A and B are shown apart, each in its own frame.
Chain A
Amino acid sequence: MIGAPDVVAFTKEDDFGEVGYPNPWVVPEEFSVPLFPSNNNANPWAKTSYAKFTKDFILISEFSEQVGPQPLLTIPDDPKVFGTFDLNYFSLRIMSVDYQASFVGHPTGSGYPRLSFVEDSRVVLGDSKEGAFAYVHHLTLYDLEARGFVRPFCMAYVSADERKIMLQFQELSLLFSRASECLKTGNRRAFARELQRKLRDLEYTRSVLQKEEGLQREAGPQGCYSARAVDKANELAAMEKSIYEHRDLLRQITSYPLRPRRDPHAAHCQHCVTESQRHRDAPPGPDRDTGEEAGQRRQSYTPQLIKGKSAKCFAKRLKNLTELCEERFYEATVELLNHTERCFRGDLCYLYTRRLDRALRRKQNITNFLFEEELGEEEEEVAVLGRIFCSLNHTVGTDSHIHTPSIVLCPEPPESVEVLEVNPPCPDNSAQQSEALTGEERLESSLSDLTMETQDQESSEENKDSFSSDRSGGEEEEEGREGGDQTPVFLLEAEEGGEGETHRVCEREGEAEGGAETEEGGAETEEGGAETEEGDGQRVPDPELLVQMDTACCMSQEGFLYNSSPPDTLPASGLQPGSLPLPLVVNQEPQALLPVQGDYGLGSPHCPSPGAGLDLPVSSSGDTTSRGSDQDGWDCTMSASTGSERAGSPLGYGGLVTLRQKKRAGQGALRFVRQYPFALHALWSLLSGRTLVVLGSEEGRVRRLVSALALYVPGPGRCGERVQPWLSCPFSLTDLQRWKLIGLQRMASPVGTSMLCSLSRYSRYISVLDADRKTLRCPGYRGTLLANVADHRTRLRRGSTYFLHLQNVLSRLASRAFLLSFTHHLHLPISHLEQRQEVEERTRGFLRDQLRLGEDDCSILMYLSQLITQHYLDSTSGGAVTTQPHLEKDNTPGTTQQDLEANNILDPATGGAVNQQDPESNTGGRVNTGQYLDPTTGGAITPETGVEPTTGGAITPETGVEPTTGGAITPETDVEPTTGGAITPETGVEPTTGGAITPETGVEPTTGGAITPEQYLDPTTGGAITPEQYLDPTIHQSATRSRAPPSFTFNYTTSLLYKI
């Protein structure tokens, strides 16, 4: 028997104790890693568990009222994942800790059944015997046929590592809540639709009954009622009651989003609330549909005659998960879960490292563009995914209008006919099906036939139809547990990462990148050498799909009808019966969808969808959701690469430079460093901003070299816009300022000659690496900074290790460059008398004495600092103005966007988000995220021009900078209006930056000392950085870029020729 599962308590201590100035030496919270419990010096890497599964997975289980707890689905959907782990047993365990106590039935004083609005519950439980631990998320879905209208489900994250689950509880809870919310929303829509159908049926039946009763009354003797007439009257009364009950249920379910939520994790959406408010104000009136004109009726649901009493048909087949939830929501849920699984792939150590990395990078927003890939990460992705289902909610309204005309009740694909034919038990149904196959125009005319048939079905249902029951006999079980009101087990802070997330311009790209990255992350941790490609795995169909459907049960038939019909059966129409035409439903038989025995793949309701080719390829193609998402990612990169920057670098990476690419490039870079002793100089060229041309006749070799060297290009752009992997025409001067790394084809033709001409002509601006002769011509490097990234005797053997090492060195460089860029006294005159030359001298002194850098190393830092300055000037200008609309747009997708989506994006679920982002990315945002040296966008604000108006415009720069020339407003006094004459850099700075940069005052040369700037970096950047400020590189910049052309800087340095 089942023992009591050991429920692990989870509590989170609140650290509200200490308020006050944080100790600068304490690591900020986001960088902290819980210490490994150091009891008895345990090896932290020792495999402590003896779980039978190798990887974490997500398990969805149901407590079926017929068969009890049963596993439904695992994510990833690969039997290899859970191996010999007993899913049935584990389902039993996790479903038996259902904390929900849902209330069902008729509460006292109320005549109608009430729906229980059950909040999710979250528990962590473990099975020490199995070595499995799980975060279990219980949720309840509504099903009209289920007992108490509820079906308890749970989603569990199963892992062998208890600590991992405990420590990641909040994240898990957040992600699962989103998925649950998505699933429940779809379920509510499906439920409402089902209710409406049922109401239609009831009303139709009532009308039939009334007619019959009238007939009988007429037929019978006056004044006295026959027994049959009394029966009819009773039946009618029961029908009336049933109608009222169902109306009330419909009212309850449509007002669902308005109820107060106790679950802090539930994803809120204002739009949902208002929408449902609207629906409530216009109360659901199913009657209104009945009186509508024929044309509308044609497209609407055909009511069927049903039995009056809402019989509990135990023999019937319960709806499976895909039927319980609208298809798109279901797929979005699965996508969310897939994403969740990806997010938590890897062991705790890896997760922490990644989190630290993210936290650090978030701190370094200003310098990230240099070497880090953009923060297109999970939270980002979650934000997007979180919006997916919300936008699902809202796009449907417009969808329906667009899709309605195109709805064709096309014949079933032949397979389903076969299915029908091999399905002997219901000959009449198959006949009906074949009718439906012949053409939908017969639908209207065959209405009476249908009702007759359904009458037959009703009767058979009454008799608890034998053939269906024997088919599904194994599933007959006692009813599932009834849910009631419950309290969430763990109260967690709501939405910690979701809403306040930065809204990046190219969120979809970010998402794609993030997805790829997590995949990569899994590979990098050696966790899955044979990593399964999620996109390729065919999802194992729901076990429920294999269940023989109760053909006689009208409700389930409806369910199937609904599910198999394309998205013309729209949730909104379910909620809005009067205003939207109900979609025309093929009155096909459920057998059409029944899986052939042994052919699981057919069980997917996607396959025979008549809407295939009409719309929503994701939902109608047999693909798994994850592949859909992969395709989305691909589409998104494609669209990104065909964006405006495509013109800028026609042969660029053609998409985002993902971390995976970068790590692969790490191997190439390591090989380069080990192979060429002069690699150092080439790296210096790249890092100091001198364009490196890789010359070679063999394209593959050149491309490999370029992609390896691209790692060293500072600020390569999101899509590597500053890298040109293969160029086969002579380049011009403008190419030099566009590209920092060029792969050039060596040709023997006249074109080649002119190309070499341009090479030699611009030789002072470029370094040339000859891949064929293995020579390098560039200025020599005599610094020390790069010594340990370009040591050709390095002991590093693995490309990813080298990549991380390189990232380390580069981010160190970037932080120094940040310091250089944002330290005031290095750029602003300390006293009025100081000239530019003296300031520059001070800067040089800072680099030389404080940072202890040589000349060549200085040029690296100067270049990086220049890029940072440029990036800052470009990205922030007007950002505050322009980001705001984006934020609003993203949060509440407007109707215009929806129209746009509905027109050209086939899947509103995932595609919607893509499309929303695309216009933004096409504005050139990703091209010019500060890549182009836009010399003085703020040039109009340069001191000279500031001075000119007052003094007549004849002022030379020096006098402009020189404040002693009179009453003119000088830049210094502009910057520091308060302190008057004696301006020290510190005072000049502090009021402006609010003390965020105060640590730099410690670096002031006068204080001297051996201050290493890195010490000060954290507090420096840890100020009040609002990411939004820096995240809008697009709009303003694209406006100014056309006006202020880029510039590039260079040195007059003699090049040397290096050979192996």
Chain B
Amino acid sequence: MLRWILGGREAQGSVEKNPVLFIGEEQPKNWFTELQVLKGHFDIVRFLVQIDDFRFASAGDDGLVLVWNVETGERLLELRGHSQQITAMTAYTHTSGENTHTSLITASSDRTLSLWDPETGNRVQTVSDLQSSVKCLLVLERLCVWVSGGNELCVWNRDFQLQCQSHLVSQGISATVELPKNCIAASCILYEPLCCPCISSEPRLTMSTGSRLSVAEVRRLSDHQDSIHALININDGLFASGSHVGELILWDAVDWTIMAYEHILWEESQTDTQAEIRLAAPKPSEMSIQQLTSDGELMVAAVGSGLYVYSVITKSVVAYRKTAHDSNVLHTMLLPDGGLMSCSEDGSVRIWEMQDLLLPAEPASAGFFGMWTFGRSNKQAGPPVKKVLELPSLRTLELTGDLIGHSGAVQMFVSFGEKGLVTCSTDHLLIAWKNRERESHLRSLALFRKLEENGGL
């Protein structure tokens, strides 16, 4: 394992399970050349929420919410109030006239909801004694309300007054997305393993006369075979959900029909030699879709420890890598330059670049996974036809850089563009990754400014 200490330079990769993924220390495209460790939490940090273009909040199992300045790394505020771990956090921006004011809404296991003012650190509103702890929060800016999902779906207005609530499902809601026509999609984590069909239900908020809101379930979409872990909006017309067994379904956002259905198997079809090594069918956890992210055209699914890039437009796979990380991928993000960033339980953040496959005959992709494609029409049709991938559109994910610093699973990251990237981890730390050139440039500017203030040296 530590062969490099004994002398082998290339053995550096021995830390990685997959030597193919070893990128080495030469990372010219990786511009994160300065890091800043932000300490303050005492337990796992799970959530990062961007407040504006230089502030963000972090929250985790210690019940603390900390507000940071990403430029300086200063801890601006410490929001104390929750006695148990934070289960959800979102930024709540409302515009009154010229001013936009961003607040933070946090939900905790102590069954309270709080609204914080990140300018002053005040706890503006708080609701306690909820029937259940809230698992997800969704702000519907259009309606000036926000929705909390736990065992029930509650709709609140800006002043933390409960507008309406509904017990939609017997299980808790784990994710919600906003859909057109005042609809919300809420997905539930399956608690009882026997009850196989997973439910995706769509409550509709109906605006009755006056300001009275009510929420009612419109339809239940039960096409997933297992519990749904991920639910995202792709664009106005589409949303997507991913399940524990690797099902990825694209839904029409308006009439809630299936636009595409992918079942990611990660099947190793390069048989012969590999088959013996393969122990069994892929474990479900290897196919579990942990997280979905999309920029409207591409959708990235974190599948087990792999990454899967799907083009929404062509409804086909663009790129994939089965073992992008040594462990489960927890969070992904599409970069504006066409790259991809992912973080994982193995403690690293990796930066990927989608490159055109140089050799179309590259066998590695020939059958890494099987895929069934269902048209909307033949959804209930006969046995799925295994489609051999046509390669021209397929590209590869090339590792262009990795960020190593955390000693625990990297839970999440939030990017501030050029200002840097902030990662949070189970090792209680946050790390701000920055560009050294830019930072030193800023420091030089500060130096000359100070020089001016001091009137010379």
Contact = CB atoms under 8 A, between A and B. Distances in A.
Residue among A366, A733, A826 having the largest count of chain B Cβ atoms under 10 Å = A733
A759 B71 contact: no
A976 to B, nearest CB: 9
A828 interface: yes
Given A935-B73, A996-B456, A1057 B444 contact: no
Contact of A877 (B26, B429, B450): B450
Contact of A1049 (B33, B38, B447): B33
A456 B9 CA distance: 98
B72 interface: yes
A956 B34 CA distance: 20
Contact of A876 (B36, B69, B454): B454
Interface string B401-412: 100111100000
Interface in B1-36: 1-2, 4-5, 7-9, 12, 15, 24-28, 30, 33-36
A360 B125 CA distance: 62
Interface string A672-703: 00000000000000000000000100000000
The contact size tier of chain B is: 35 or more
B447 A1045 contact: no
A758 B408 CA distance: 12
Given A839-B441, A939-B442, A997 B9 contact: no
B52 A953 contact: yes
B25 A935 contact: no
Contact of B444 (A760, A869, A876, A1056): A869
Interface string B61-76: 0000000010111110
Nearest to B417: A956
Nearest to A942: B442
B15 A760 contact: yes
B418 interface: yes
A654 to B, nearest CB: 26
Given A733-B37, A760-B5, A1023 B457 contact: yes
A353 interface: no
B447 A873 contact: yes
Interface string A1019-1051: 001011100010000000000000111111111
The contact size tier of chain A is: 35 or more
B263 interface: no
A942 B419 contact: no
B127 interface: no
B450 to A, nearest CB: 6
B12 A763 contact: yes
Interface in B428-442: 429, 431-432, 434, 436-442
A254 interface: no
Given A869-B443, A1057-B4, A975 B12 contact: no
A827 B444 contact: yes
Given A734-B37, A828-B448, A1047-B34, A1029 B454 contact: yes
Contact of B72 (A366, A775, A937, A974): A937
A822 B446 contact: no
Contacts of B417: 956
A1054 B28 CA distance: 11
A1052 B446 contact: no
A876 B443 CA distance: 14
B335 interface: no
A768 interface: yes
Contact of A733 (B73, B401, B429, B449): B429
Contact of A936 (B53, B72, B407): B72
Residue among B30, B74, B417, B442 having the largest count of chain A Cβ atoms under 10 Å = B442
Contacts of B9: 777, 1055-1057
B117 to A, nearest CB: 17
A947 to B, nearest CB: 12
A191 B220 CA distance: 105
A939 B55 CA distance: 13
B45 to A, nearest CB: 15
B276 interface: no
Nearest to A989: B448
B159 interface: no
A824 B448 contact: yes
A1048 B7 contact: no
A1052 B7 contact: no
Contacts of B207: none
A1020 to B, nearest CB: 8
Contacts of A737: 35, 37
Interface string A900-942: 0000000000000000000000000000000000011111111
Interface of chain B: mostly helix, strand, loop or mixed: mixed
Given A762-B404, A935-B36, A935-B73, A775 B449 contact: no
A621 interface: no
A133 B32 CA distance: 67
Contacts of A1046: 36-37
Interface in A801-854: 821-822, 824, 826-828, 836, 839-840
Contact of A1024 (B5, B434, B438, B457): B457
A59 to B, nearest CB: 45
Nearest to A993: B456
Contact of B443 (A822, A936, A953): A936
A827 B418 contact: no
A652 B405 CA distance: 25
B326 to A, nearest CB: 12
A633 interface: no
B80 interface: no
Given A762-B404, A940-B72, A992 B442 contact: no
Given A737-B37, A971-B445, A992-B451, A936 B437 contact: no
A1045 to B, nearest CB: 5
A747 B133 CA distance: 47
Contacts of A1023: 456-457
A1047 B33 CA distance: 10
A732 interface: yes
Interface in B313-364: none
A1047 B2 contact: no
Contact of A836 (B5, B36, B441): B441
B449 to A, nearest CB: 6
A732 B7 CA distance: 23
Contact of B445 (A758, A828, A1021, A1048): A828
A992 B443 contact: no
Nearest to A775: B7
A944 interface: yes
Interface string B136-148: 0000000000000
A761 B439 contact: no
A783 B253 CA distance: 61
Contacts of A322: none
B175 to A, nearest CB: 29
A1052 B25 contact: yes
Interface in A928-977: 935-945, 953-958, 971, 974-975
Contacts of B5: 695, 756, 759-760, 768, 770, 777
Interface of A: 366, 695, 732-734, 737, 756-764, 768, 770, 775, 777, 779, 821-822, 824, 826-828, 836, 839-840, 862, 866, 869-870, 872-873, 876-877, 880, 935-945, 953-958, 971, 974-975, 989, 992-997, 1021, 1023-1025, 1029, 1043-1057, 1059
Given A938-B447, A1043-B74, A1045-B37, 9 more contacts: A761-B15, A775-B7, A777-B4, A935-B34, A938-B443, A943-B445, A958-B418, A1045-B38, A1048-B35
Interface of B: 1-2, 4-5, 7-9, 12, 15, 24-28, 30, 33-39, 52-54, 69, 71-75, 401, 404-407, 417-419, 429, 431-432, 434, 436-452, 454-457
26 contacts: A733-B37, A733-B406, A737-B37, A759-B2, A760-B12, A822-B451, A827-B448, A840-B441, A872-B447, A873-B446, A936-B442, A937-B72, A939-B69, A939-B74, A943-B445, A955-B53, A957-B419, A971-B445, A992-B451, A993-B452, A993-B456, A996-B457, A1043-B72, A1045-B38, A1047-B37, A1049-B439
